[in-house]
Chains A and B, each alone.
Chain A
Amino acid sequence: MSEIPLSHILLVSTALFFIGMYGLFTRRNMITMLMSVELILNSVNINFIAFNKYLYPDKLDGVFFTVFIITIAAAEAAVAIAIIINLYRSHQSIDVEDAGEMKF
């Protein structure tokens, strides 16, 4: 893995981040927006692991940050899906345009 420069891994994670951002901008369905957020969090994890491996191989801080991000992502997905199911019960739709009561 030493012949791949760090900037190539950073480019992959940047591309993944902006693909997730594109999904967040264009999708109007709450579940697919949640999937885009997962992609964004994964790109951040790749960055942490790559920095830990290339620049600070004698430390483990990047690993811990990644573990904590994965944990928080799981909690976030669970809470978001609970909210989505509750919204579906009251609006019969999970489109963000249909849930505009709290917009203003």
Chain B
Amino acid sequence: MDGHFVPPDVIEVEGLVKVYGRKGGTRALNGVSFSVPKGDIFGFLGPNGAGKTTTIRILSTVLAPTGGTVRIAGHDVHEDPMAVKERIGVMPDEVSFYPTLTGLAHLQYYASFHGIPRAAAKRRAIDLLGQVGIGDVARKKVKTYSHGMKKRLALAQSLLHDPELLIMDEPASGLDPQGMRYFRDLIRFLNGKGKTVFLSSHLLSEVEQLCEHVGIIDRGRIVAADSIANLSSKMSAGAPIILRVTAEGITDEAIASVTSISGVTGATRTANGLDVTVQSGTDVGPDVSKALVLAGARLKELKTSERSLEDLFFALTKGGRV
């Protein structure tokens, strides 16, 4: 023991395999492994058809895995699905409800599965509908709801039984900017109250803003699972670095002078100046600024560009088929 508190993993996935149909059917997941520590907001990324939804359906106990193990809060989804179901709140991508039931009736129906007594269930449902901002339409039929209202109802139903893990599939898809911001703030708030969040999303900026750790899945395999910072530095190792130069008065001579520096492999003009491609492991920043200043350019800023999550995503999924 090194004295550090290591939170237990809420999700432990090991060697997960899912084959649809009989032998020789579609292999949707091919040995997926990752883990999500307690209290984390974990971003789950991947192009369409990579296996995201299949993974989420297995985590939600809807689909049985073909091989491998999945444990949630220490309970195997296959061996002890009931214990898992009690601990998870699922917000599916498709926000689909019974069109002729009211929002309140939905929550009361779902609460009855969790053994919440009727009166308490009604109180809790009304509270939750108010909290997610659709208290005023609680007694209206769901078929009259807008997409945003349905998303909010989907969130409310996932919180009914106060689960420790929230599994959210594209929670912000189809929402307007205010709605997206609302969801982002709410996820942070819930995480602040100790809930672990498993967040699958197409919106990379969303994930970047919310998540510390991400898993990237492609063609049924996890191609990366780590913190965004670690992934970024790992990806950068050995790869060329871009120096982003902001300057005025860059002449062709200045560019020629820069490209002649040892370690520089190329330079292209940008709107504000110049992007200089540099071999990894070389520190040519001072040489570049010196060359530019000597060639008469008025240098304003020079910085090493960081790779965004989007860059990582595209690099890892070979162009990403989002």
Q: A and B: partners?
A: no
Chain B positions within 8 Å of A, measured between CB atoms, are: none
Taking beta carbons and an 8 Å cutoff, which residues of A are in contact with B? Answer: none
